[in-house]
A and B are shown apart, each in its own frame.
Chain A
Amino acid sequence: MEPILSINNLTKKFGYLTAVKDLSFNINKGNVYGILGPNGSGKSTTLGIVLNVVNKTSGDFKWFNGTVTTHDALKRVGAIIENPNFYPYMTAAQNLKLVCKIKGVDYSKIDEKLEVVNLLDRKDHKFSSYSLGMKQRLAIASALLNDPEILILDEPTNGLDPQGIHQIRKIIKDIASEGTTILLASHLLDEVEKVCSHVVVLRKGEKLYSGRVDEMISSHGFFELKCENENELITYLESNPDFGSVKVENKLITAFLNEPMDAVTFNKLMFEKGIILSHLVKRKESLEEQFLQLTDKL
């Protein structure tokens, strides 16, 4: 697959604090990536480095296989970092015109992209009069101006109301469905789960995982069980090597699998042992649980 961005052993220190530690990963064309991590895990710093606004301490990164310089590469990238930053005294259209001048894009794109984010009727209003949701949508329009090969979004729904979040997500999904590569940094896991196919997990500047979302932890899932005869069930589960830890919470027994096993086999097994289950669900960890498992591990 064609790599768009490759990061090798990237490190950033702010004084004594190491914000990004020896980070390496690749972004390939056509996928939707999520960068996950708790606050302060180095997500924005990493994006800042590849976007040329933060200086790296060591390591390197390459845009488009290293064939172009970073600042030329950025003309093929669309990015929004944290808050939308525009000139408050200019109108939306004037602000986008300025971006066109920087990126060397034709002005005809302005109306087209404002249409995409539903701001065309407000294009001649001053940026300072916009609501946060509108500002964020304008930022997306601005990032899309050059029809970027990759769209980088850092916390795009931060501080928005539910409607705003919904609108932004819809826009992101539409863009993703057109085949644009997307890199989405967020700590909102359901957001990433809904949109991303690949994920990079960071904690304290270190990479914990990178790869497909569904392969994030080598887990075979778990059973949620209820039955009349709890103690007997728990004793059995603990003696069976196929099961790892067993947790009891509000009469709901959660048993984690060490080996793959489907619900039919398990049910049969229980029946043979004379344990009648009143509740049996097999589940895989949600992204949130997987994420917490990963980041809690020390």
Chain B
Amino acid sequence: MLRLLNLELQKLLLSRTSKILIFVSFVLPFTVLILSSIKINFFGFFTLELGELGIFNFPIIWHITTFFASQFKFFFAIVVVSMIGNEYSNKTLKQNLIDGLSKKEFILSKFYTIIFFSLVATLLIAVASFFIGLYYSSYTEASIIIRETNFLIAYFVKLVGFFSLCLFFGMLVKRSAFALAFLFILYILEWITFGIISWQSDMAFAEKIQNFFPLKSMYKLIDQPFQRVMMTKFPDKADLMYDYTVHWHEIVIVLCWTAIFIFLSYRLLKKRDL
């Protein structure tokens, strides 16, 4: 396992483009997080301090940071897609297989890399949120800090699932740009299907079905936190209530998709003549 990870890391870290993209996808959310946590004084007119809004309180901070950090996953998605695209365009995939890597090992080395980077991203966010939380939060009891850390698990699963989808599209179309276009097409397709179902039956039913779609199920893992922030401000407004918690069945759905994508990538490679 380490050998395969090591192999892929060498391929990635020696390439300048992917090095920059990896750097951006990790450092950017991190910097945004740090920046937003410091007090910004706008030339004496007013001070903007996001911490005052209570969004850096435990346990809501886990929700906020993972939600915003996951918006940056697109940068690493480019890396994932291009790490497949380049193997095809340089024909190094063929050479790797000739040199004695099996097709299974090839897919696994990509998958391990995805897990590795998702893990690193999760740890970074966890550490950053923890310290910012300690600094701002009104409550720092261990029991409150630990509460809702399952958002971190959701974040990790979400990343792994999304990158596995990218891996599959990369294997499917062999070219990075087309694979990214496919992501967009899938996104539109999901909404069209949602539209058709809600038109044929009703909205609530369509939403239930939609939660099983690959992109939507990944999105659904971490619901948008805006409404929740509102809720903390106006606790008496009952119509703002919504279900934002991470459910185990949501995690299971995404894990299933991950397994399906990795398996399909492997099948695709196995069937293909290079």
Task: Give A contacts to B, CB under 8 Å.
Answer: 14, 48, 51-55, 71-72, 74-75, 77, 79, 81, 83, 85-90, 94, 97-99, 101-104, 142
A53 touches B3 (CB 8 A): no
Instruction: Summarize B's interface: helix, strand, loop or mixed.
Output: helix
Asked if B100 contacts A87 (CB within 8 A), the reply is no
Question: In the complex, are the beta carbons of A99 and B97 less than 8 A apart?
Answer: no
- List A contacts of B95 (CB < 8 A): 81, 85-86
For residue A91, give the distance in angstroms from its CB to the closest CB of chain B: 9
Interface string of B1-39 (1 = CB under 8 A from A): 001001100110011100000000000000000000000
Distance from B104 Cβ to chain A, minimum over Cβ atoms (Å): 9
Number of interface residues of B (CB under 8 A): 28
Against A, the Cβ 8 Å flags (1 = close, 0 = not) of B95-114 are 11111111101000000000
Task: Say which residue of A54, A55, A94, A99 sits within 8 Å of B99 (CB atoms).
Answer: A99
Point out the residues of chain B lying under 8 angstroms from A94, CB to CB: 10, 14
CB atoms of B7 and A98 under 8 A apart: yes
A83, A87, A104: most-surrounded residue (chain B CB, <10 A): A87
Interface residues of B in 22-62 (CB under 8 A from A): none
Separation of A102 and B97 alpha carbons in the complex (Å): 9
- Give chain A residues whose Cβ lies under 8 Å from the Cβ of B147: none
How far apart are the CA atoms of A101 and B14 in the complex, in Å? 15
Interface residue B193 (Cβ < 8 Å from any Cβ of A): no
Q: Is the CB of A85 within 8 A of B94?
A: yes
- List the 3 closest pairs (A to B, CB-CB), nearest first: A74-B100, A75-B100, A71-B102
Instruction: Give chain A residues whose Cβ lies under 8 Å from the Cβ of B96.
Output: 102
Q: Decide yes or no whether B92 CB sits under 8 A from chain A.
A: yes
**Are the C-beta atoms of B273 and A48 separated by less than 8 Å?**
yes
CB pairs A–B below 8 angstroms (9 shown): A52-B97, A55-B270, A71-B105, A74-B97, A74-B98, A89-B14, A94-B10, A98-B11, A102-B96
